[in-house]
């Protein structure tokens, strides 16, 4: 059943008590949720320096219903009904009286947080009012950034523009077209076409051209020296000149839009240049690294938790305790994909018949296996108490092995000094003032990252200079066009968009040149899919619905990363769809993007409707399509990855609230069911939301990529005011996580004694360049697994693809900037497996 009420933010200009002079409503209503009991709920926000009203509008079926505001004490007060003068019906407001001095109504909902209730007949609406430290300036910053990126994406093909600024994204074409229009319109202004029109004016007798009015005046006063006669005036206010003014107006509007978007881009590139130059300087000079005690202690607590779960395990009771035996064993690697490990006896002795076997395998109950696997990387020696069977088996290749199969396990004793070693390391770090010297490998990686940062800073600076130059050129031409337009206005020419019917625009070379230059400008706009009628709507986006503005901002940032950073080609007509979806809230708006070279499709759906009726803000479906020319590209099972993102615009979060929100999205709303194999993440603008920090990398305190195993769910910081040039860095890392999860392992094409050629269906997460065969190197790890180094010759960003030594989970090391796996506190290049938690530590060994 559809809801018969809607809730919107309103800005009201009061005329008198209970009467509104003007009402401005937010373009879209707040989302109303219905719980299992049928109660309706809506979430609203109280900002620090502007206070919109919360208005309720009822459909015709509830015309006779008077909403009642219910206070905390249970007292009921009828709400105030005001009429919308613009014909948009009536609104119901909660109010606490009239201020005659300032001519405004008071409202508790303007200033107080908490839960409020409104009764609408048999319906009950719960309003969850939240306080926000954001104000007008903060919300306007999101609008400006969103508008700038939207116009820049539409008016420029930034992905095709080169670093030198020569390309569609540099504004060169627009500047040339404006210059041509300026030259042609100046020629028109120097000698404008005119119409000669007959009129009447007082004239001397010597120049008099009499008409009927002349004779009437002469009869009244024959001695007069001036009489009204016929005159012929030249008028420049003709259709052709009026259309010239229209062309100038459109050109100025386009130029202003470009300069606005380009100015924001230069600001971003300036911050990015400074950020990368600072990073290069820091990475070049660093010799030691500070260890965060909170991260170190958190990782120690994780070890203690895993060890406690292991040692506190108690199996089922048995009626035959005499059948329980103890088995002291030393575990090796996992055995296949079963709940089993290779093992050796702790005493090193061999049982009878063991001389004829090649290895030993212990098979465990699934729950015991999971506990042991979680602690396997720091605890290899265990004593298991339980009932077990032993037998000798033969593999298909003829190898003999002893299988120790536990029927039941009743107790586990772990022999490890992991916690003692961690305590000793902590004391050592305290003595060193929590500073550790960098290893040779870390210094080598930092040196390379410094070179990448220098290259990125140089390219950003070059592009900023090129765009700034185009801004100056376009501003100069726009100033000249404004002067021409003002001169035509002085001639009495009014602008008109009606195309003249005569032949002057074709036959006159000056007017024809104006039309030709204007058509070039219009082609540039049409090529980007921008309807000029929408330009004013984009420029007039208000700040009433801040949460929706943040959703729009997130949408434009995701598309920018897909198209510009990862080089996906969007579908034809995506620009018009983008404009429509940002100006009007629509459901199931899908943007199809494709990497033809890699046969990867990325489908982004906004407000995707699930079968349950829920609508996540963004659903990204990453699919490896089949290559018709070859079967080697058929994606392996599980290579379709789903990423569900929900935007939450909050200025702060209470302790545990983000975790609670995430659980609600998954357990109650079922967002993980939006796509097969979907990951669920919250996008929000606040920093320092992860306490204690989960990672020593720079994102560790602001984003959580792996609250649960295998990066299945978490939250990401993405915002304008908090991060500056890094506003989408965490978001880009999240998209990189999703794409790298879908990449199949590199494939060996050929091999000889000198070299092995590998091929990979993957791209650089720094710039989107495909990993070419010549830049892929491979070698085997100590465990015998294959490890690949995928280099990018374009931007220098490299990725090391390997596997966890304890489980088959693929791991991606992207340096200290783009690595999203958690790393250990005192060695940030040492990745922790997101599935089993294993990592190399010499202290454990």
Give strand pairing partners of 90: 83
Strand extents, DSSP E, 552-663? 569-570, 589-595, 600-606, 618-624, 641-647
pLDDT tens per residue across span 3-19: 678 899 999 999 999 89
Region of poorest pLDDT, from 146-150, 161-165, 404-408, 807-811: 161-165
Check residue 631 and give its pLDDT.
38
- Average pLDDT on 450-471 reads 92
Helix (H) or strand (E) holding 688: none
Task: Give the 3-state secondary structure of residue 134.
Answer: coil
Helix (H) or strand (E) holding 339: none
Region of poorest pLDDT, from 152-156, 331-335, 531-535: 531-535
Please check the confidence at residue 342 and state whether its pLDDT lies above 50. yes
Task: Give the 3-state secondary structure of residue 690.
Answer: coil
- Average pLDDT on 58-76 reads 82
Please check the confidence at residue 169 and state whether its pLDDT lies above 70. no
Please check the confidence at residue 845 and state whether its pLDDT lies above 70. no
Distance, C-alpha 155 to centroid of its chain: 21
Check residue 207 and give its pLDDT.
81
Q: Are residues 118 and 67 in contact, defined by beta-carbon separation less than 8 angstroms?
A: yes
- 10 Å CB burial of residue 750 (0-12, 13-18, 19+) is exposed
- 10 Å CB burial of residue 398 (0-12, 13-18, 19+) is exposed
Q: How far apart are CA 817 and CA 509, in angstroms?
A: 58
Q: At how many degrees (to 10) do helices 239-285 and 172-190 cross?
A: 150
Q: Among residues 218, 233, 822, 282, which one has the least CA distance to residue 813? A: 822
Check residue 844 and give its pLDDT.
59
pLDDT, greater one: 48 or 458: 458
Q: How is residue 648 written in tokens?
A: 């939450």
Letter string b/e over residues 545-566, b meaning 16 or more CB atoms within 10 A of that residue's CB = bbbbbbbbbbbbbbbbbbbbbb
pLDDT band, residue 502 (cuts 50/70/90): confident
Please check the confidence at residue 164 and state whether its pLDDT lies above 50. no
Q: Mind giving me the DSSP string for 732-779? A: HHHHHHHHHHHPPPPEEEEE-SS-EEEE-S-B-TTT--B--GGGEEEE
pLDDT tens per residue across span 749-773: 876 656 788 999 999 999 999 999 9
Give CA separation, 366 vs 40, 323, 372, in Å. 44, 21, 10
Please check the confidence at residue 636 and state whether its pLDDT lies above 70. no
Please check the confidence at residue 632 and state whether its pLDDT lies above 50. no
The count of other CB atoms within 10 Å of the CB of residue 320 is: 7
Please check the confidence at residue 635 and state whether its pLDDT lies above 50. no
- Average pLDDT on 255-271 reads 90
Q: How is residue 844 written in tokens?
A: 């454990």
- Average pLDDT on 558-576 reads 92
Q: Are residues 362 and 391 in contact, defined by beta-carbon separation less than 8 angstroms?
A: no
pLDDT band, residue 87 (cuts 50/70/90): low
Q: What is the DSSP letter of 679?
A: E
Q: How far apart are CA 700 and CA 688, in angstroms?
A: 9
**Residue 692: is the preceding peptide bond cis (ω within 30°)?**
yes
Task: Give me the domains of the chain, ranges plus CATH numbers.
Answer: 5-131 (no CATH), 195-235 (no CATH), 298-427 (2.40.50), 545-740 (no CATH), 744-831 (no CATH)
pLDDT band, residue 411 (cuts 50/70/90): very high
Task: Give the 3-state secondary structure of residue 92.
Answer: strand
Q: How far apart are CA 82 and CA 72, in angstroms?
A: 25
Helix (H) or strand (E) holding 599: none
């Amino acid at each position: 059943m559809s809801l018969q009420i809607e809730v919107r933010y309103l800005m009201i200009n009061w005329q008198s008590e209970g009467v509104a002079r003007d009402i401005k409503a937010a373009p879209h209503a707040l989302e109303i949720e219905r719980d299992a009991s049928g109660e309706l709920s809506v979430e609203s926000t109280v900002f620090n320096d502007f206070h919109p009203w919360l208005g309720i509008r009822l459909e015709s079926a509830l015309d006779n219903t008077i909403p009642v505001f219910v206070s905390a004490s249970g007292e009921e007060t009828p709400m105030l009904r005001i009429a919308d003068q613009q014909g948009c019906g009536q609104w119901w407001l909660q109010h606490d009286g009239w201020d005659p001095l300032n001519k405004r109504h008071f409202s508790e909902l303007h200033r107080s947080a908490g839960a409020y209730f409104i009764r609408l007949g048999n319906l009950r609406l719960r309003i969850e009012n939240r306080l926000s430290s954001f104000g007008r300036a903060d919300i306007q910053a999101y609008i400006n950034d969103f508008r700038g990126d939207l116009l820049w994406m539409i008016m420029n093909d930034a992905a095709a523009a080169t670093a030198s600024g020569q390309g569609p994204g540099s504004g060169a074409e627009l500047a040339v077209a404006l210059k041509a229009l300026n030259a042609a319109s100046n020629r028109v202004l120097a000698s404008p076409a005119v119409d000669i029109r007959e009129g009447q004016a007082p004239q001397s007798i010597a120049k008099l051209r009499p008409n009927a009015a002349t004779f009437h005046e002469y009869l009244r006063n024959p001695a007069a020296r001036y009489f009204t006669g016929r005159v012929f005036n030249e008028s420049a206010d003709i259709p052709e000149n009026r259309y010239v003014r229209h062309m100038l107006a459109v050109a100025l509007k386009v130029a202003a839009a470009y300069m606005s978007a380009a100015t924001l881009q230069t600001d971003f590139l300036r911050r990015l240049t400074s950020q990368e130059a600072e990073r290069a300087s820091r990475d070049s000079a660093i010799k030691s690294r500070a260890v965060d005690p909170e991260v170190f202690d958190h990782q120690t607590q994780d070890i203690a938790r895993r060890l406690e779960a292991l040692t506190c395990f108690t199996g089922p009771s048995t009626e035959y305790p005499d059948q329980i035996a103890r088995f002291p064993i030393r575990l090796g690697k996992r055995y296949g994909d079963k709940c089993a490990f290779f093992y050796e006896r702790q005493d090193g002795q061999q049982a009878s018949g063991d001389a004829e076997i090649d290895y030993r395998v212990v098979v465990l109950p699934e729950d015991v296996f999971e506990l042991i696997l979680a602690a396997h990387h720091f605890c290899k020696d265990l004593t298991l108490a339980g009932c077990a069977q032993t037998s000798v088996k033969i593999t298909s290749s003829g190898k003999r092995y002893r299988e120790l199969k536990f029927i039941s396990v009743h107790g586990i004793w772990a022999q490890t000094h992991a916690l003692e070693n961690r305590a000793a390391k902590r004391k050592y770090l305290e003595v060193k003032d929590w500073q550790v010297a960098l290893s040779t490998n870390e210094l080598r990686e930092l040196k390379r990252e410094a070179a990448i940062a220098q290259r990125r800073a140089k390219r950003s600076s070059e592009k900023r200079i090129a765009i700034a130059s185009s801004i100056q050129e376009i501003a100069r031409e726009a100033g000249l066009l404004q002067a021409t337009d003002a001169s035509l206005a002085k001639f009495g020419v009014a602008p008109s968009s009606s195309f003249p019917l005569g032949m002057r625009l074709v036959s006159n070379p000056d007017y024809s040149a104006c039309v030709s230059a204007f058509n070039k400008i219009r082609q540039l706009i049409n090529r980007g899919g921008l309807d000029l009628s929408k330009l004013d709507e984009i420029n007039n986006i208000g700040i009433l619905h801040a949460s929706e503005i943040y959703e729009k901002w997130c949408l434009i940032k995701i598309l920018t990363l897909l198209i510009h950073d990862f080089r996906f080609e969007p579908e034809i007509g995506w620009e018009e769809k983008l404009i429509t979806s940002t100006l009007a809230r629509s459901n199931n708006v899908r943007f199809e993007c494709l990497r033809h070279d890699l046969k990867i499709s990325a489908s982004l759906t906004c407000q995707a409707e699930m079968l349950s009726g829920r609508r996540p803000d963004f659903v990204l479906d990453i699919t490896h399509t089949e290559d018709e020319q070859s079967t080697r590209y058929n994606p392996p099972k599980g290579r379709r990855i789903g990423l569900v993102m929900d935007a939450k615009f909050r200025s702060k979060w209470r302790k545990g609230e983000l975790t609670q929100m995430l659980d609600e999205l998954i357990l109650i709303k079922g967002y993980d069911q939006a796509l097969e194999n979907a990951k669920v993440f919250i996008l929000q603008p606040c920093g320092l939301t992860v306490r204690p920090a989960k990672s020593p990398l720079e994102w560790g305190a602001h984003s959580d990529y792996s609250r649960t195993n295998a990066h299945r769910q978490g939250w990401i910081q993405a915002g304008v005011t908090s991060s500056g040039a890094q506003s989408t860095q965490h978001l880009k890392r999240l998209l990189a996580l999703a794409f790298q999860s879908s990449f199949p392992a590199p494939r060996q094409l050929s091999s000889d004694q000198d070299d092995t050629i590998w091929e990979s269906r993957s791209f650089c997460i720094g710039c989107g360049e495909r990993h070419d065969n010549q830049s892929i190197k491979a070698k085997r790890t100590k465990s015998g697994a294959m490890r690949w180094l995928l280099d990018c010759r374009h931007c220098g960003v490299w990725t090391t693809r390997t596997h966890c030594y304890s489980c088959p989970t693929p791991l991606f090391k992207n340096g200290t900037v783009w690595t999203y796996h958690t790393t250990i506190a005192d060695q940030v290049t040492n990745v922790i497996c997101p599935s089993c938690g294993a990592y190399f530590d010499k202290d454990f060994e």
